[in-house]
Amino acid sequence: MESRSRINITSSSSAEDYALQAILEFNKGFKQVELYADSDDACKLVDVYLIMKQRMGEALRVVSADVGSSRPRGRNAGYLSIIIERLA
């Protein structure tokens, strides 16, 4: 099995739904989960992480975080990406 799963955070679901989805990815056997959001949904990504941290406590840690911009469709668009890991 792959060691990392990626979840794209959008406005279509709630932060609680994405947090549950990420926890389920850990339960499937993934060592790490990458949470990725475009600039419009970056706040929701942080909410997802905080919900997960509240539920999982010290068993969760941030491996890396990346903030940047890309150029889809000819315009600059920001993004936020964090990789989290389950410790226990």
First CA to last CA distance, the chain? 18
Q: Who contacts 26 (Cβ-Cβ below 8 Å, separation ≥6)?
A: 33, 86
**What is the pLDDT, as a whole number, of residue 62?**
96
Model confidence pTM above 0.85: yes
Counting residues of the chain whose pLDDT is more than 70, the rounded percentage is 98
Residues of the chain with pLDDT under 50: none
Provide the 3-class DSSP secondary structure of residue 53.
helix
Give the E-state strand segments of 1-88 in sequence order.
Answer: 4-9, 32-38, 60-70, 77-86
**What is the pLDDT, as a whole number, of residue 2?**
64
Q: How far is CA 2 from the centre of its chain?
A: 17
